[in-house]
């Protein structure tokens, strides 16, 4: 489920068009009227996760008043005017739908920028702290200004109930905002700020992406029959949308290059261009009744242009504003984990941190934690938990029961099973089965204890493996066959004999395993 949501979020540029296409087919084949009941709950699911991730504290940090004032003046004076006149120029047909599309374009321009502003600013190595403040200031100003602006500018095209619009904004902006703040406070209080920011906070954004795709599906389903009857409507909508984003990028790039330094300029560009289409969709679908479906069609298509254009702008940001300061200084080392989305393939191959196009520091998704249930192994588990949490990797626990007959046979160079007969083999197998049950129970108890002490440790009961045989052979085999990215184990066991055995096991694994191996020793005072 989590992997699906993450994939959805990372590929909105494709998932939204696919969702719209599926909605078009569904709405044409079936009666989609029943989907209306899901609009309000899904809209809340779409907006609330964005509010949970906002860093409200950043608004109290000053020092960039010129940037913030300039951004909001552009946001709430120039952009609404641009949307109004572009709509007037391209969406002025006699049919009611043209007026509704013009309202949709105006809503995009008058409502605030979204949390995506922060992400895209980070991708382009801009000033993320300034971007956060732009989002928060824009949220407050836009929520107050939107009903008034819409009434003044679009009142002649469509009936605008300002009070109803204010209520919808309160429901879909301020209620989720306060709920998000409360969630942040309780989460930090319960888990601590570090764990909350690393483990739990990133889990919310993908749910917003899910809400967006569902709303796009619903909007297309409910308007499918009209769209299929008039396929030219899509082209009619795309022309003014494309022009709006093109004008915005060009104008903001010039202003940013002339008046601001690189990081601030990039924050301003995305602080204006990345409109909060989620809130625009929410208002369209709930404040304008049946007409809102027509408005929502234009806003849904805006997602495709907005995300695709942002990705391309990141690629060209260095050419427009120059490279980030840390990239210009030769003494500064390049980032060990370059952003795959913003680095062209031809550049990757020349980067000293890449070998044949592959990163030296790989993406760790599967960790094999080897335990003999000793004190050292219990100490090593904290490293497995920490790395698993940091990289959001799954952690599998492995325990190998030494098969003494196999070990003695290997040391003697002969198969002792043949010497002792089948009874010994059966006895040995039975003993191993009994040991496996006992070990599984102990591992389960250990895992439960770990989860209590380290709540964010990514262990699950399904991730237990108990093997029998030569420890080195089995550890190496499991690591390679399971395609684990990393192996973590301790260095010694319970006593002197066990220390020698497990020490040799660690050495054998290091020498033979093709996967990276982390060997953990007890702190000196505990040895």
Q: Cα separation of 275 and 281, whole Å?
A: 11
The token pair at 113 is 């920028």
Look at residue 65 in the predicted model and tell me its pLDDT.
Answer: 84
Q: Cα separation of 429 and 445, whole Å?
A: 25
Residue position matching structure tokens 């946001």: 75
Q: Which fold has domain 14-321?
A: Na+/H+ antiporter like fold (1.20.1530)
The token pair at 468 is 């029998």
Scored b (16 or more CB within 10 A) or e, 506-516 reads: bebbeeebebe
The token pair at 245 is 């984003």
Q: Cα separation of 336 and 111, whole Å?
A: 38
Domain locations in the chain?
A: 14-321, 366-526
List residues bridging with 467 in a β-sheet: 400
Reported as half-sphere exposure (CB side, CA atoms, 13 A), residue 226 has a value of 13
Please enumerate in sequence order all residues whose Cβ is within 8 A of that of 295, keeping only pairs 6 or more positions apart, or say none.
100, 101, 103, 104, 107, 284, 288
Number of residues written out for the chain: 527
Indicate the SS3 state at residue 264. helix
> Strand (E) positions, 87-233?
none
Reported as half-sphere exposure (CB side, CA atoms, 13 A), residue 244 has a value of 36
To the nearest 10 degrees (0 to 180), the angle between helices 277-287 and 205-229 is 50
Q: Cα separation of 388 and 382, whole Å?
A: 10
Q: Cα separation of 287 and 278, whole Å?
A: 14
Q: Which own/partner pairs from 436-444 qualify as long-range (CB within 8 Å, at least 24 positions apart)?
A: 436/401, 436/466, 436/468, 439/373, 439/399, 439/401, 439/466, 440/464, 440/466, 442/373, 443/371, 443/373, 443/397, 443/399
Could you tell me which of 158, 293, 295 has the C-alpha nearest to residue 225?
293
Scored b (16 or more CB within 10 A) or e, 20-44 reads: beebbebbeeeebeebeeebeebbb
Look at residue 344 in the predicted model and tell me its pLDDT.
Answer: 42
Gyration radius of the chain over CA positions: 29
Q: Cα separation of 98 and 294, whole Å?
A: 9
Could you tell me which of 264, 491, 249, 217 has the C-alpha nearest to residue 370?
491
Please enumerate in sequence order all residues whose Cβ is within 8 A of that of 232, keeping only pairs 6 or more positions apart, or say none.
none
Could you tell me which of 295, 357, 228 has the C-alpha nearest to residue 83?
295
Look at residue 507 in the predicted model and tell me its pLDDT.
Answer: 82
Look at residue 90 in the predicted model and tell me its pLDDT.
Answer: 92
Reported as half-sphere exposure (CB side, CA atoms, 13 A), residue 113 has a value of 31
Q: Cα separation of 375 and 100, whole Å?
A: 69
Pairing between β-strand 394-402 and β-strand 366-370 as defined by DSSP bridges: parallel
Look at residue 494 in the predicted model and tell me its pLDDT.
Answer: 45
Please enumerate in sequence order all residues whose Cβ is within 8 A of that of 97, keeping only pairs 6 or more positions apart, or say none.
233, 294
The token pair at 478 is 């499991």
User: Under CATH, domain 366-526 is a member of which superfamily?
Assistant: HUPs (3.40.50.620)
Q: Cα separation of 151 and 166, whole Å?
A: 12
Look at residue 259 in the predicted model and tell me its pLDDT.
Answer: 92
C-alpha of 159 from chain center: 39
At 368, which helix (H) or strand (E)? Answer: strand 366-370
What's 514's DSSP letter?
A: S
Q: Cα separation of 257 and 278, whole Å?
A: 29
Q: Count CB-CB contacts under 10 A for residue 107.
A: 31
The token pair at 492 is 């010694």
At 175, which helix (H) or strand (E)? Answer: helix 175-191
Look at residue 332 in the predicted model and tell me its pLDDT.
Answer: 39
C-alpha of 142 from chain center: 26
Q: What is the pLDDT along the chain (527 residues), one digit of tens a residue?
A: 666 777 766 666 677 788 878 988 998 899 888 887 777 777 677 677 777 776 666 666 666 789 989 999 999 999 999 999 999 999 887 888 888 889 889 988 888 777 678 767 876 888 877 888 888 888 888 888 888 888 888 766 666 677 777 777 777 677 888 888 888 889 888 888 777 877 787 778 777 777 777 877 877 787 788 778 878 888 999 999 999 999 999 999 999 999 999 889 999 999 999 888 877 877 887 778 778 878 888 887 887 788 778 878 888 888 899 887 654 443 333 444 444 334 444 444 444 444 444 445 567 888 998 887 777 777 888 888 878 877 778 888 888 877 665 655 554 545 555 555 566 566 666 766 776 677 777 766 766 666 666 656 666 656 778 887 788 888 998 988 888 888 998 875 444 444 444 457 888 888 888 888 988 887 754 54
């Amino acid at each position: 489920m989590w992997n699906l949501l993450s994939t959805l979020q990372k590929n909105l540029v494709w998932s939204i068009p696919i969702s719209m296409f599926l909605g078009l087919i569904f709405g044409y084949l079936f009666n989609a009227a029943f989907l209306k009941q899901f609009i309000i709950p899904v809209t809340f699911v779409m907006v609330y996760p964005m509010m949970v991730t906002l860093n409200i504290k950043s608004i109290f940090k000053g020092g960039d008043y010129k940037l913030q004032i300039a951004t909001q003046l552009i946001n709430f004076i120039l952009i609404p005017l641009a949307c109004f006149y572009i709509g007037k120029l391209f969406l002025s047909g006699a049919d009611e739908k043209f007026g509704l599309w013009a309202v949709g374009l105006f809503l995009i321009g008058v409502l605030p920028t979204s949390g995506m502003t922060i992400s895209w600013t980070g991708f382009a190595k801009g000033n993320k702290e300034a971007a956060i403040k732009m989002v928060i200031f824009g949220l407050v100003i836009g929520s107050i200004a939107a009903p008034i602006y819409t009434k003044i500018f679009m009142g002649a095209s469509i009936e605008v109930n300002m009070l109803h619009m204010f209520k919808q904004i309160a429901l879909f902006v301020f209620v989720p905002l306060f709920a998000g703040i409360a969630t942040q406070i309780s989460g930090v209080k319960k888990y601590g700020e570090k764990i909350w920011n690393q483990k739990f906070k990133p889990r919310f954004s993908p749910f917003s992406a899910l809400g967006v795709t569902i709303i796009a599906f619903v909007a297309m389903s409910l308007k499918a029959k009209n769209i299929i009857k008039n396929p030219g409507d899509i082209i009619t909508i795309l022309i003014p949308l494309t022009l709006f984003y093109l004008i915005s990028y060009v104008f903001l790039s010039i202003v940013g290059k002339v008046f601001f330094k690189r990081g601030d300029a990039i924050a301003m560009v995305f602080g204006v261009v990345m409109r909060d289409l989620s809130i625009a969709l929410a208002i369209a679908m709930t404040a304008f009744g049946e007409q809102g479906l027509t408005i929502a069609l234009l806003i849904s298509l805006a997602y495709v242009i907005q995300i695709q254009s942002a990705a391309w702008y990141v690629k060209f940001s260095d050419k427009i504003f120059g490279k980030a300061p840390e990239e210009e200084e030769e003494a500064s080392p390049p980032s060990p984990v370059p952003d795959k989305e913003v680095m062209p393939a031809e550049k990757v191959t020349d980067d000293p941190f890449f070998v044949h196009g592959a990163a030296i520091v790989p993406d760790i998704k599967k960790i094999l934690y080897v335990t003999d249930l000793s004190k050292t192994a219990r100490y090593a588990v904290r490293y497995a938990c920490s790395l698993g949490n940091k990289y959001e990797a799954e952690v599998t626990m492995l325990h190998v029961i030494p098969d003494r007959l196999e070990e003695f046979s290997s040391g003697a160079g002969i198969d002792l099973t043949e010497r002792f007969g089948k009874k010994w083999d059966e006895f040995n197998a039975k003993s191993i089965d009994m040991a496996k049950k006992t070990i599984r129970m102990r591992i389960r108890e250990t895992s439960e204890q770990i989860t209590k002490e380290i709540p964010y440790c990514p262990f699950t009961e399904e991730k237990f493996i108990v093997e029998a045989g030569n420890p080195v052979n089995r550890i190496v085999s499991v690591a390679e066959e399971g395609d684990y990215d990393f192996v973590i184990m301790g260095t010694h066991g319970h006593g002197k004999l066990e220390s020698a055995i497990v020490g040799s096991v660690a050495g054998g694994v290091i020498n033979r395993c093709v996967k990276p191996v982390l060997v953990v020793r007890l702190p000196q005072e505990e040895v």
